[in-house]
Amino acid sequence: MDSHTSPNHANLLRFTTVGSVDDGKSTLIGRLLYDTQNIFDDQLEAVRKVAERKGEEEIDLSLLTDGLAAEREQGITIDVAYRYFQTSKRKFIIADTPGHVQYTRNMVTGASTANLAIILIDARRGVLEQSRRHGFIASLLQVSHMIVAVNKIDLVDYSKEVFDSIVEEYDEYSRKLDIKDITYIPVSALKGDNVVSKSAKTPWYDGPTVLHTLENVHIGSDLNVRDFRFPVQYVIRPDLNFRGYAGKIVAGSVNPGEEIAVLPSGLVSKVKTITTMDGDLEDAHAPQSVVITLEDEIDISRGDMIVRRHNLPQVENNIDVILCWMGNDPLEIGKNYFIKHTTRTVNACISKLIYMFDVNTLHRTDATEHNLFCELIKTPHRTDVNTLLLNEIGRAEIKLTQPIMLDQYNKNRETGSFIVIDPDTNFTVGAGMIRGAVRSIEETIHAEGKAEEELPVKVEIERAPVSLKEREERYKHKTAVIWFTGLSGAGKSTIAKSLERLLFSTGIHTALLDWDKLHHGLCKDLSFSDQDRIENIRRAGEVARVFYEHGSVVLCTFVSPLRCQRDQVKALIPEGRFLEVFVRCSLQTCVQRDPRGLYKKAMDGEIPQFTGINSPYEEPLNPDIILDAEYKSIEENLKALLEMLKSKGIIRK
């Protein structure tokens, strides 16, 4: 075993079972659990009672994994069922995935963390479209090992010819896939042939059983042990003397004293300690969860990534991906989605669909060609050619409002994968594998024409000459971003300007950002469209971060109507230093005030998608403070704000 490979990783095998409907996936798992004595007495008694109630002599082993009532009634699996068992040689986590075409998305979920996939093929029906689909998805997800279990071999009289023909057909298909290791096994999950023990009824088969393969498959080399990647999940600050960064090491290893870089800021430091519940470690490896402390005081937030200084991932905001669409609604080109990548969630849009995959032939085709094919074979075709439908797979380009720290999926499954979330429903609608950054022909030629050491550096790794801690000690106050949100005309700017004057008079370093300042300068190229409004808040957040890092109490007044926009800015600022102020005022009062005449223009149709008129405003769920700007005076609201800043430790009491 490689010295950088965690022993626990090598001793734990995650595998998924896939196949078409009623191919016997749940029965196979039930047989594994039953024959390895990993069944609790109460579980066994429950399925025995079901058999008695149905008048059956033999128990139905599939019931040991089909946990939902709907599954038991229909005898099918419609959700991903996870099960755990172990033998004397290894521990296992199983993901039993559904076989219906409409649940292919569940197969993506189950296989995304698997080391091995068991694809079941009914010996009577042979290789089906779902058999090919599941093999293709397993290949896309870089599942390195595969068992093709030709099940129900007993129903074809243990025929060697049937087995050989299925092996030949699937082997020809699998040569086009990126699967390193495939084992073909004739099994009867119902009877137990070649599942745990060798079967005397298949004397012509001299290969391993399913369990023997699971126990002995080598997975130590599957994990990326070279590239240290540590996405920060949580900042731990129990007191002023400890600041730790919690998360899971998704690749590589790290030791105290190693020089690291923090992305995307590019600041460098050294690892001071690596801490767990059991104490400090001399080294840590993937996939351990640890708390890392650094020798320097650096602003790090959830979504940042700690890596080795001289082993950097790509930092990109325009990515080339393979996308599995899992949403009931079709993909919408140009629509705002959330991309969740490691611990970082950013706004994005799918800007281009390049082609789709035909899972039967593995041919790549655009949607227009797909329709022509559908007409030839007399099957329904799509009306929108520039989209992906449920369970379809294609290659696409995605533009992100913030960069992510990535590796190609075939090098690192953790930093090379992501999910797509629909902001309207908060449902996961897609899963993707990153091929790399989107580059034009000119960029490619330009980059390949240079020596490697001459390539432009994307991230400047340089420590700030004056730390934030030094600035706070000099200025004698903490830094923070105070984000005023509310409807236009609610009084955000009036309150913020009064607060800035008050803070400035007491010697506090302040900065004020509002829509006017940005609209006439940095954001003058932006309109009121959804995408431009998202970009406006992104830029405002980045500017606020710069002022924050230079020791100011930053007052920001923006409508910022969507919670995701405010969360996006909050993610830029260390925990406890982003204070959300909800300035509450009724729409009726705001329309009456209308200080800039914007509501009138919106109602006259001059401003489309104006918040409160024809675009929604999402009130904060848990703001740090709510100001009543309709019935309370400015003085009363200022007093409440000062009390909050004192209680948060931003200014002295």
CB contact at 8 A, 3 and 162: no
The pLDDT of residue 183 is above 80:
yes
Residues 6+ apart with CB under 8 A from 14: 92, 93, 95, 113, 114, 115, 116
> Can you give the pTM of this predicted structure?
0.59
Q: Which has more pLDDT, 150 or 76? A: 150
* Predicted confidence (pLDDT) per residue in 463-509, tens digit: 567 888 888 888 889 999 999 999 999 999 999 999 999 999 999 99
**Beta partners for 512?**
555
Angle at 48 between CA 47 and CA 49, to 5 degrees: 90
Domains and CATH numbers, the chain: 7-216 (3.40.50.300), 229-308 (2.40.30.10), 315-454 (2.40.30.10), 468-647 (3.40.50.300)
Among residues 410, 403, 271, which one has the least CA distance to residue 342?
403
CA distances (Å), 341 to each of 44, 288, 320, 415, in order?
41, 19, 14, 7
Instruction: Return mean pLDDT, the chain.
Output: 82
Residues 6+ apart with CB under 8 A from 54: none
Question: In which band, very low, low, confident or very high, does the pLDDT at 641 lie, cut at 50, 70 and 90?
Answer: very high
CB contact at 8 A, 306 and 233: no
Give the H/E segment covering residue 443: helix 441-448
Rounded Cα–Cα distance for residues 162 and 153 (Å): 9
Q: Determine the pLDDT at residue 373.
A: 44
Average pLDDT, integer, range 547-575: 88
Alpha-carbon 653 to chain mean position: 42
H-helix segments, 56-99:
69-74
Question: In which band, very low, low, confident or very high, does the pLDDT at 365 lie, cut at 50, 70 and 90?
Answer: low
CA distances (Å), 101 to each of 20, 74, 104, 373, in order?
8, 16, 5, 20
Residues carrying an active site annotation? 560
The pLDDT of residue 379 is above 60:
no
Alpha-carbon 382 to chain mean position: 29
The answer to whether 153 is a known ligand-binding residue is yes
Rounded Cα–Cα distance for residues 649 and 653 (Å): 8
* Predicted confidence (pLDDT) per residue in 214-238, tens digit: 999 887 666 677 889 999 999 998 8
Least confident of 93-102, 302-311, 517-526: 93-102
The answer to whether 492 is a known ligand-binding residue is yes
**Beta partners for 307?**
229, 261
The answer to whether 98 is a known ligand-binding residue is yes
The answer to whether 79 is a known ligand-binding residue is no
CB contact at 8 A, 132 and 33: no
Rounded Cα–Cα distance for residues 116 and 138 (Å): 9
Alpha-carbon 417 to chain mean position: 7
Question: In which band, very low, low, confident or very high, does the pLDDT at 106 lie, cut at 50, 70 and 90?
Answer: low
The answer to whether 488 is a known ligand-binding residue is yes
69 SS3 class = helix
Average pLDDT, integer, range 259-285: 91
Question: In which band, very low, low, confident or very high, does the pLDDT at 621 lie, cut at 50, 70 and 90?
Answer: confident
Q: Determine the pLDDT at residue 37.
A: 83
The answer to whether 561 is a known ligand-binding residue is no
